[in-house]
Amino acid sequence: MNRQAPQIGHPIKPPYFMSVENSEELSQLFDLNTFNRPEWLATVEYATDKLLKINDDNQLTPNANLYPLTGLLSSLSEVSDQVTVADFGGGFGDNFLRLASALNQNVLDGLRYNIIETELLSSNFSNFKIGRNALGPVSLFEIDDLRSPTLKHRIYPCHVLLLSGSIQYAKNWTQTLIDLLKLRPDFIYICRTIFNDQVPSFGCRQD
């Protein structure tokens, strides 16, 4: 399968890698239906397994945009036995694995890491997680779960809400933020957006 990153202005081919190369044309906007396709699930599984292999070789480190968050999580663990993170659009644990590589074990032991994802990823995560022990603290939820009092309590209270790029692909970003803020996070950590990633050209369509 062709795993090259799609370029803006060019047809997006499976398996739809998220990273976007520079292009001066914006003739093709990102297709939001991508995230409901089996090819996207295959891409997420492939990318996560690749990170797990790097993690097993002790070569994994946080990206520069995530590194400050490791300090915040460490500080929070000093005043709370359990620290809860809600990671919107965190796939099958990419951000978690990178963060975990720089956290002390005592911080990891008290970390509850909740990823809020699409129905496609949420419904397939349990099977993927089997045998992948590094993903132990990770749970997946759907955005609709935040509207359910019986499910929201599993994520609440939330110490840190992580918004790492995915908010720009939400079909209705304002309602998404309203739902996420129901978690009443103590901190909102925003990274990898078109505003701070120095992307020369980028296009996305939202309601």
For 148-204, write each residue's pLDDT tens digit: 766 666 677 789 999 987 877 777 778 888 888 888 899 999 886 654 445 444 454
Give dist(CA 148, CA 153) in Å, integer.
9
pLDDT per residue over 14-66, tens digit each? 443 344 343 333 334 455 667 788 888 888 999 999 999 999 998 998 888 88
Taking the model in full, what pTM does it have? Answer: 0.78
Contact 91, 122 (CB under 8 A): no
Neighbour-count burial for 8-24, b at 16+ CB within 10 Å, e otherwise: bbeebebbbbbebeebe
Contact 5, 20 (CB under 8 A): yes
pLDDT per residue over 108-159, tens digit each? 999 999 999 989 999 999 999 999 999 988 999 887 777 776 666 667 778 9
The edge-to-edge listing of strands for the beta sheet with 187-191 is 138-142, 111-117, 83-88, 160-164, 187-191
